[in-house]
Amino acid sequence: MSESRSDDPEQLENNQSDQEQEFDDQQIDCVDCGKPFVWTAGEQLFFRDKGLKHAPKRCKPCKKAKNERLDAVMKAQEAGVKQRVEVIVNCAKCGVQTTVPFYPSQGRPVYCRSCFLVKNPETLPSDDG
Ligand SMILES: [Zn+2]
Ligand SMILES: [Zn+2]
């Protein structure tokens, strides 16, 4: 009993592009300057290799600027210098825009200087003779 059974010579040449993820250049709006920048296919591949799941948020100049900012903070901390922070907030009472030398915690009201003094009169120098 000889049964000549030829194996299916047809090659499986489908679903190749299904598995292999193709990268295309993507355009992303920078969160810092708002300008669109191109996230190239090569960079996407690099990100995937590094196991990074999130796309970059900043264009290269902004990323560099941010790194430099962080660097400066790091260096200042290493040198024991206190960074002077200035955070722009709106006063919880009068709504005026003001800057505070700290990062306000969420849900905590922040007051402008005059409202703060009204709330905390004991911080005023008592010179009302
Ligand atoms: Zn930017
Ligand atoms: Zn105020």
Quick: pLDDT tens for 40-86: 999 999 999 999 988 999 999 999 999 998 888 888 878 876 667 78
Q: CB count, 10 Å around CB of 59?
A: 21
pLDDT of residue 8: 56
How far apart CA 32 and CA 70 sit, in angstroms, is 15
Residue 21 lies in a domain: no
Rounded to the nearest whole angstrom, what is the distance from the C-alpha of residue 109 to the centroid of ligand 2?
A: 11
State what percent of residues in the chain have pLDDT above 70.
Answer: 77
Instruction: Indicate whether 73 and 35 sit together in one domain.
Output: yes
Residue 3 lies in a domain: no
pLDDT of residue 21: 64
Q: Find the domain containing 119 and state its range.
A: 87-123
Rounded to the nearest whole angstrom, what is the distance from the C-alpha of residue 55 to the centroid of ligand 1?
A: 14
Total domains present in the chain: 2
Residue 10 has pLDDT above 80, yes or no: no
Instruction: Indicate whether 94 and 118 sit together in one domain.
Output: yes
How far apart CA 60 and CA 43 sit, in angstroms, is 12
pLDDT of residue 45: 93
Residue 52 lies in a domain: yes
Residue 95 lies in a domain: yes
Q: Give the ligand with the smallest distance to the CA of 114.
A: 2
Average pLDDT score over residue span 99-108: 80
Instruction: Indicate whether 69 and 102 sit together in one domain.
Output: no
Q: Give the ligand with the smallest distance to the CA of 34.
A: 1
Rounded to the nearest whole angstrom, what is the distance from the C-alpha of residue 57 to the centroid of ligand 1?
A: 8
pLDDT of residue 18: 47
The amino acid sitting at 75 is K
Instruction: Indicate whether 94 and 116 sit together in one domain.
Output: yes
Q: Which two tokens stand for residue 90?
A: 């709106």
Q: Is 111 exposed, middle or buried (0-12, 13-18, 19+ CB in 10 A)?
A: buried
Measured in Å, how far apart are the chain's first and last C-alpha atoms?
123
Instruction: Indicate whether 72 and 97 sit together in one domain.
Output: no
Rounded to the nearest whole angstrom, what is the distance from the C-alpha of residue 32 to the centroid of ligand 1?
A: 5
Q: Model pTM?
A: 0.43
Q: Give the ligand with the smallest distance to the CA of 117.
A: 2
Q: Give the ligand with the smallest distance to the CA of 30.
A: 1
Average pLDDT score over residue span 4-28: 63
Q: Which two tokens stand for residue 103?
A: 């990062």
pLDDT of residue 28: 96
Residue 70 lies in a domain: yes
Average pLDDT score over residue span 98-118: 85
